A and B are shown apart, each in its own frame.
Chain A
């Protein structure tokens, strides 16, 4: 690790990937690109938490199937979700019988898991790793906000948790490689409004991106896309504005998974999508396939996570955030 940037002695590649989503995501702009979806978001289960676990199971099973792999070939699975104690992952992935590390990075977990899987492969510690992430609107709403049937009004800066799970298998084969990565620092700029997570997470993205561009030889123009996880409209505008003030212009190539997954005009999601499933399914359905085809060559992916709990919020604490960076490149 030189100046915070992680480079790998052997280049990790995305061997396989798979996305599973709910019906609202299926009806969104990227609907046709997801590998699998379920009407009614229950995935054949009787509780939302079980549905989320089932989504993870289907995502990893799908990624293995797509890559003609068996679960025994995985050395380790790195997985996480938004539920307390990461139960979405543990219950969903138990049957694969593969060594497992649970992660919690809130909505940055997708980038975090790809980053760590790349480190394990790149450092020669593992030859094939799974990186799985999920979020479910219904289970998150119950845990972080209100009961589903509670009648409340959302503010325009509020975001909509994505129902989806994305699985990536990192190994030596594949057309998309992870060139380098950077672990984010915890940044807390005092935002305590749970309905403005974009603004709470934006400073973490700014911190990671300024560090990345000052430590690496790259500049924003080197990338076809600089894609953030779930800043939504509010957070995206903030990072473009504030980074411009620091002399980093990402206005041309910045996109946000939270803005891509839903149609904000017709789907009543206010500032856009959120949740760790959001970046996972957008990457697995739209970004990685285009890198494989060579339509785009270099992508900076920043997973953004808001690291609060309902308890810290009710104790009046502001929201700490983190943004992990992964540099993806087509071979």
Chain B
């Protein structure tokens, strides 16, 4: 059996993730987090006029909740069930940052927490920012020509 045959053999027999169950859980929990966000947004709109500011405050609130749950050791248990349901909302981003920070404390605050805090969430910020810059260049040129 060569490598290719063996990989195919393993893939054909290995137990697959329960996809339907995972999808349902991701939908319900992911949807629930967004609903919580929406409810908070409706609440904040009572005090804050600017929609963007209210949206930012919603993100900040969800981040705070996610980080608190990470700290007391509950977030990973929820995520084990929710999968993408907690990963995709901003809560997953917050958990990635907080879990790195808590985990690397034993290596000190500068070279541990400081250096490693972005080890999981870094790619999101890097490529998000970079694609924003590309968009900015295109938008700027376009608005010079047609603006």
Contacts and interface: CB of A to CB of B under 8 A. Distances in A.
A238 interface: yes
B53 interface: no
B17 A149 contact: no
A156 B79 contact: no
A95 B105 CA distance: 27
Contact of B95 (A150, A199, A233, A242): A150
Interface residues of B, number: 37
Interface of A is mostly: loop
A237 B12 CA distance: 13
Nearest to A237: B13
Given A203-B6, A237-B13, A142 B80 contact: no
B43 to A, nearest CB: 26
B73 A149 contact: yes
Query: Chain B CB within 10 Å — which of A47, A48, A153, A199 has the most?
Result: A153
A191 B7 contact: yes
Q: Which bucket holds chain A's interface residue count?
A: 20 to 34
Residue in A146, A150, A191 whose Cβ sees the most chain B Cβ within 10 Å: A150
Contacts of A155: 17
B14 A149 contact: no
A125 interface: no
B41 interface: no
B99 A150 contact: yes
A199 to B, nearest CB: 4
B106 interface: yes
Given A149-B75, A150-B95, A150-B99, A156 B7 contact: no
B10 A150 contact: no
A189 B10 CA distance: 10
A70 interface: no
Give the interface centre of B86, B103, B104 by most chain A CB atoms within 10 Å: B103
Interface string B3-20: 110110110011111100
A149 B100 CA distance: 8
A242 B120 CA distance: 39
A25 B78 CA distance: 23
B37 interface: no
Interface in A191-250: 191, 196, 199, 203, 233-234, 237-238, 241-242
19 contacts: A147-B100, A148-B102, A149-B71, A149-B98, A149-B102, A149-B103, A150-B96, A151-B70, A151-B76, A151-B79, A151-B80, A151-B82, A151-B95, A152-B76, A189-B7, A190-B7, A196-B10, A238-B9, A318-B3
Given A147-B103, A151-B87, A189-B6, 15 more contacts: A142-B103, A147-B99, A147-B100, A147-B104, A149-B71, A149-B95, A149-B98, A150-B96, A151-B79, A151-B80, A156-B14, A191-B6, A199-B14, A203-B6, A238-B10
